[in-house]
Amino acid sequence: MTTVIVLAKECVPGRVKTRLTPPFSPEEAAALAAASLADTIEAAGRVAADRHLLWFDGAAPAGTGFEVVQQPAGGLDERIAAAFDAVADRAVLVGMDTPQLDPAVLEGVLDDDAADAWFGPASDGGWWALGLDPMPHRGDLIRGVPMSTARTGAATRLRLAGAGLRVRPLPTLTDFDHAAEALAVAESAPTSRFAAQLAALGPRSLAVA
C-alpha cells in the first residue's frame, strides 16, 4: 500500500506566503499560493498511489479527489509527524509550494524497494518532499526538527541517517517564499497555473530584489 500526502493550508490573504509582500499584495500572494496548490494537487493526483491524502489546515478546495484530513494543532514539525503517523503504509509527503514537481519522481519513490527513505532537498536548505517506509513511530523522525530554516534539510537528513535508514536523494527543487524564487519556479514550469497567475500580475513580477 502507498500514500501520497499533500501538506497545505487555506490560501487566505495575510496567512500564506507573507514573504511575497511586497512586491505583491496579500491578496496577490494568496492567489499565487492557490495556483501552486492546484498545480501540486494535480501533479500528486497523477501518481498511482493507493491513497491520496490532503493534510489540510482550513477549508480545503472541493473536487480534488483527495481524502481530506484536518491538521492537528502544533508546530510544523508536529503536523508533519502526525501526517506520517496517520498512515500505516509507505508514504511520500510534499508541500504546496513546488508547483514544478514531476509526478514521475513521486511515482519512483513508491516503486523503489532499494531504500527506506527518500529526501527531496529545497534550494533554500529545507526540503520539498520526504518519503518514509512503514516503521514504528516514524513521526518521531520529524518531531523536534527545526522547520523553515536553512538547517532544516541537514537536520532532517541527520535524523534519517541516525535511524540507520537507507536514504535515496530526490532532485533539488526551489520553493517560493520570495518574489525572485517565484519567478524562478514559474520559469521552470511555464505551462503551470502558477506561471499563468504570476504573469497575470504584470510587470511587478519581474521587479524582484
Q: Which residues share a beta bridge with 7?
A: 55
Look over the chain and give the mean of its residue pLDDT values, rounded to a whole number: 95
Q: Which residues share a beta bridge with 131?
A: 92, 118
d(CA 151, CA 24): 27
Report how far Cα 174 is from the mean position of its chain's Cα atoms: 11
pLDDT at 16 over 50: yes
pLDDT at 89 over 70: yes
Contact 5, 49 (CB under 8 A): no
Which CATH superfamily groups domain 2-206?
A: Spore Coat Polysaccharide Biosynthesis Protein SpsA; Chain A (3.90.550.10)
**In the chain, which ranges are continuous DSSP H helix?**
26-45, 76-85, 103-111, 152-162, 179-188, 193-200
Q: How many CB atoms lie within 10 A of CB 115?
A: 15
DSSP of 115-136: -SEEEEEBTTSSEEEEEE---T
Query: In terms of Cα–Cα distance, which of 24, 13, 43, 12 is closest to 182?
Result: 24
For residue 52, CA distances in Å to 3, 7, 119, 201 come to 6, 11, 19, 32
Can you tell me whether residue 6 is helix, strand or coil? strand
Q: How far apart are the first and last CA of the chain?
A: 45
pLDDT tens across 128-152, in order? 999 999 999 999 999 999 999 999 9
Can you tell me whether residue 203 is helix, strand or coil? helix
pLDDT at 209: 43
| N residues, the chain | 209
pLDDT tens across 46-84, in order? 999 999 999 999 999 999 999 999 999 999 999 999 999
pLDDT at 203 over 70: no
